[in-house]
Amino acid sequence: MKSLTIALNDLRRSFRSTFALLFMFGIPLLVTGMFFVMFGNIKNTDAPVIATTKVALANLDAGNAQTGQLGQTLVDALQSEGLSKLMEVTLVKDSASAREMVVNQQAGVAIIIPANFSDSFSDTQAKVEVEFIQDPTLILGPQVVRSVLNQMLDAYAGIKITVAESLKMAENGNLSYDEISRIVTEYMAATEFSSDSTPLIDLRSPAALPKKNPMVSLVGPIMAGMMIFYAFFTGANTANSILREDEEGTLQRMFTTPTAHTEIMRGKFYSVGLTVIVQVTVLMIAARIIFGIQWGMLASAALTALAIACVAGTFGIMLVSFLKSTKQSGIIFGGALTVTGMLGMVNIFTGNPQSAPLGIVPLFTPQGWATRAILASMDGAAVGTILPSLLIMVAMSIVFFVIGVWRLQSRFA
Partner 1 sequence: MESAIFVQNLHKTFRNGSSLKAVDGVSFEVAPGEIFSLLGPNGAGKTTTISMLSALLKPDNGATGANDIRIMGRSLITEPLAAKAMIGVVPQDIALYQDLSALENLIFWAKMYGLKGTLLKTRVAEVLDLIGLTDRANDRISKYSGGMKRRVNIGVALLHQPKVIYMDEPTVGIDPQSRRSILDGVIALKNQGMTVLYTTHYMEEAQELSDRIAIMDHGKIIANDSHENLIRLVGQKTRISLSINTEPETMIEPWKACKGVSTIAIEESKINLLVDDSNKVLPRLFETAAAKDVRITSVEIQEPNLETVFLHLTGRALRDA
Between residues 78 and 264, which has the closer beta carbon with respect to partner 1?
Answer: 264
Binding segment for partner 1 (CB under 8 A), chosen from 244-252, 282-290, 317-325, 374-382, is 244-252
CB 66 within 8 A of CB 113: no
If binding is defined by CB under 8 A, does position 12 make contact with partner 1?
yes
Sort strands 53-59 and 131-134 into parallel, antiparallel or unpaired: unpaired
If binding is defined by CB under 8 A, does position 212 make contact with partner 1?
no
Q: Which of 173, 210, 249, 384 binds partner 1 (CB under 8 A)?
A: 249
Between residues 67 and 241, which has the closer beta carbon with respect to partner 1?
Answer: 241
Between residues 88 and 246, which has the closer beta carbon with respect to partner 1?
Answer: 246
Between residues 151 and 241, which has the closer beta carbon with respect to partner 1?
Answer: 241
If binding is defined by CB under 8 A, does position 254 make contact with partner 1?
yes
Q: Which of 103, 260, 290, 298 binds partner 1 (CB under 8 A)?
A: 260
Q: Which of 13, 212, 266, 407 binds partner 1 (CB under 8 A)?
A: 13
Q: Give the span between the Cα atoms of 166 and 172, in whole angstroms.
A: 10
Between residues 250 and 409, which has the closer beta carbon with respect to partner 1?
Answer: 250
Give whole-number Cα distances, 25 to 14, 32, 231, 268, in Å.
11, 11, 10, 21
Q: What angle do CA 239, 241, 246 make, to 5 degrees?
A: 125
Pick from 165, 358, 5, 291: nearest CA to 13: 5
Q: Give the span between the Cα atoms of 268 and 262, in whole angstroms.
A: 10
Between residues 185 and 250, which has the closer beta carbon with respect to partner 1?
Answer: 250
Q: Which of 2, 43, 212, 407 binds partner 1 (CB under 8 A)?
A: 2
If binding is defined by CB under 8 A, does position 181 make contact with partner 1?
no
The residue type found at 156 is Y
Q: Give the span between the Cα atoms of 212 and 218, in whole angstroms.
A: 11
If binding is defined by CB under 8 A, does position 324 make contact with partner 1?
no
Least distance in Å: CB of 9 to partner 1? 5
Q: Which of 124, 189, 255, 402 binds partner 1 (CB under 8 A)?
A: 255
CB 361 within 8 A of CB 388: no
Q: Which of 125, 137, 257, 410 binds partner 1 (CB under 8 A)?
A: 257
Main-chain dihedrals φ then ψ at residue 225, nearest 5 degrees: -65, -45
Least distance in Å: CB of 241 to partner 1? 11
If binding is defined by CB under 8 A, does position 256 make contact with partner 1?
yes
If binding is defined by CB under 8 A, does position 411 make contact with partner 1?
no
Please give the size of the binding site for partner 1, defined by CB under 8 A.
20
Count of C-beta atoms within a 10 Å radius of residue 189: 12
Angle at which helices 2-16 and 214-239 cross, to 10°: 120
- Alpha-carbon dihedral 60, 66, 72, 78, rounded to 10 degrees: -110
What is the DSSP annotation of 95-108? HHHHHHHHHTTS-S
Centroid of chain to Cα 223: 8
Binding mask 14-53 for partner 1 (x = CB under 8 A): --xx------------------------------------
Least distance in Å: CB of 2 to partner 1? 6
Give whole-number Cα distances, 247 to 81, 196, 365, in Å.
64, 63, 31
If binding is defined by CB under 8 A, does position 252 make contact with partner 1?
yes
Binding segment for partner 1 (CB under 8 A), chosen from 102-110, 144-152, 205-213, 253-261, is 253-261
CB 386 within 8 A of CB 300: yes
Least distance in Å: CB of 256 to partner 1? 4
Chain contacts with partner 1 (rule: CB under 8 A): 2, 5-6, 9, 12-13, 16-17, 248-250, 252-260
